Amino acid sequence: MEVLWDRLLKLIDQNQLVELLGKTILSLLLLALFLVLGRVLRTSVRKVVNRTSRNANLPILLSNLVYVALIIVAALSILSIYTGAGLSTLLTLFGLVSLAVSLSIQDILKNFVSGVYLLLEQPFSIGDRIKVRDVEGQVENIEIRTTQLHTDDGVQVFIPNSIVFSEVVTNRTAYRQRLTTIRFTMPITGKSFEEFSQEIKGCVGEFEANKVSKDPGPQVFVESVNALTTNCKLDLWSPTSAPATTATDVILALVKKLPEMEVTGVTAAAAAPATAK
């Protein structure tokens, strides 16, 4: 074993070994410095832009771009340490490497570019409630690769930005109100539709504005009529921050005031989390 080790030492140029070790230590220190600096600048840029801009997506975009730029500079610096090449040579090499890497990580690059477009075009912002495919929740963050959602059942979901960018996205909080439709039947005999409608509007109007919006106000429509009953619907709007029990509270109040009314169905958008804007 000692003979083998002695032969190995003779084959290795000790000066080259010391030089390589020094370059490796310097590269690791430089990488650590850039990682720490990147995180600090990322946080600082986000705070500064948050104070100067009302655009909720702009701080995320700028901070992510700063972080990526620093990582690229760190990679070029480490290459310079090992190769001793100049800036022009490194930029040429970086271009060739970028082309090769881009072909092998197309999905990651596609998600990154989609994330930049989402932050620039602003189809939704942090705090909005969106639905992508069969996933619905509150937008918590828009990262370089994914969009982070918080669902009603407390699950954290990460959706690739390329899917969010290419799919149909439903933004339930874009207009800060949601529609609830309550379908019911009323008997033909007794009160007229106009009387019944006014009583329903009066009952719904007793709810505070944080549950049922005053503008637009509730509306009652006839959908069909048969020999015994009239099939109707009640459309009412609620703030997106209204409690999830709003539709249930309205139904219970209506049935209590108008016992002859029979509710047959409810279509209500899911309530937004309390932290939504």
Q: What is the pTM of this model?
A: 0.50
Ranges of CATH 1.10.287 domains, the chain: 2-104
Q: Given a cut of 80, is residue 222 above it in pLDDT?
A: yes
How many other CB atoms sit within 10 Å of the CB of residue 59? 21
Q: For residue 273, say if its preceding peptide bond is cis, omega within 30 degrees of 0.
A: no
CA 33 to chain centre: 31
Instruction: Express each pLDDT in 94-132 by its tens digit.
Output: 665 565 555 555 677 788 788 888 877 888 888 888 999
Q: Given a cut of 70, is residue 75 above it in pLDDT?
A: yes
Sign for the CA dihedral angle at 121, 148, 135, 174 comes to negative
Q: Given a cut of 70, is residue 231 above it in pLDDT?
A: yes
Which of 26 and 259 is assigned the larger pLDDT?
Answer: 259
**Which amino acid type is present at position 177?**
Q
How many other CB atoms sit within 10 Å of the CB of residue 263? 15
Which of 93 and 139 is assigned the larger pLDDT?
Answer: 139
pLDDT for the residue numbered 73: 77
**CATH: 3.30.70, 3.90.320, 1.10.287, 1.20.120. Which one for 2-104?**
1.10.287
**CATH: 1.10.3660.10, 2.30.30.60, 3.40.718.10, 3.40.50.300. Which one for 122-171?**
2.30.30.60
Ranges of CATH 2.30.30.60 domains, the chain: 122-171
Average pLDDT of 17-36? 77
**CATH of span 177-268:** 3.30.70.100
Instruction: Express each pLDDT in 148-203 by its tens digit.
Output: 999 988 899 999 999 998 888 988 777 778 889 999 998 887 788 888 899 999 99
**3-class SS string, 180-224:** EEEEEEEECCCCCHHHHHHHHHHHHHCCCCCCCCCCCCCEEEEEE
Mean pLDDT in the chain?
79
C-alpha closest to that of 276 among 138, 144, 101: 138
- How would residue 8 be classed by pLDDT, with cut points 50, 70 and 90? low
Give the C-alpha separation, 38 to 70, whole Å. 6
Which of 64 and 181 is assigned the larger pLDDT?
Answer: 181
CB 71 within 8 A of CB 34: yes
Ranges of CATH 3.30.70.100 domains, the chain: 177-268
Percent with pLDDT over 90 in the chain = 23
HSE (side-chain half, CA atoms, 13 Å) at 109:
9
